[in-house]
Amino acid sequence: MGLCRFYVKLMEVLTGNVYGLQYLSKSKKLVENLVGLFNIEKEESRARKPVLGILQRLSFSKQPREQMVQLGIIPMIFGVFREEGEHISDFTLQFLIAMMMNLSLKRESKRDFE
C-alpha cells in the first residue's frame, strides 16, 4: 500500500500544475483507477483525501469529466453524502461540491443529478 500512496501523492503534486494536469488528463486508465479507489474508500481516510483532490482537479478537463460521469461517480458522491451525513469533513464536503459543480457542466450528467 505504501507504493500506491506514493503514486497518489505524486499525481496530487502533478495536478497542482497546469502542465501536469494536462498530461494526466490524457490518461483514461488513470481516471478509471482513481474512481475505483474513491469507491473503495468508504469512509474518511488519509487515502481518500488525495484521490478526491486529484479527481476534483481532473474534473476541470473535458475528457476526464466525461469519463467520471460514465463511470458513475455522481451516484458515488451522493452515496458519500448519505452515508457520512453530518460527520463528513469540511475538506471532503468542499471538494465533493466543487467536483459536482464541474461535473454538472456535462449535459449527460443531468439524469444523475435528478
Distance CA 68, CA 74 (A): 8
Is residue 84 situated within a structural domain?
A: yes
Is residue 64 situated within a structural domain?
A: yes
Sign of CA dihedral 17, 4, 102, 82: negative
Distance CA 65, CA 3 (A): 26
3-class secondary-structure state, position 81: helix
Q: pLDDT for 44-86, tens place per residue?
A: 777 788 889 999 999 988 899 889 999 999 999 999 989 888 8
| Residue 36 near residue 45, CB atoms below 8 Å | no
Is residue 113 situated within a structural domain?
A: no
Q: Report how far Cα 55 is from the mean position of its chain's Cα atoms.
A: 3
Q: Which three cell numbers stand for residue 101?
A: 459543480
Is residue 101 situated within a structural domain?
A: yes
Query: What is the span of the domain harbouring residue 27?
Result: 2-106
Question: Rounded to two decimals, what is the model's pTM?
Answer: 0.85
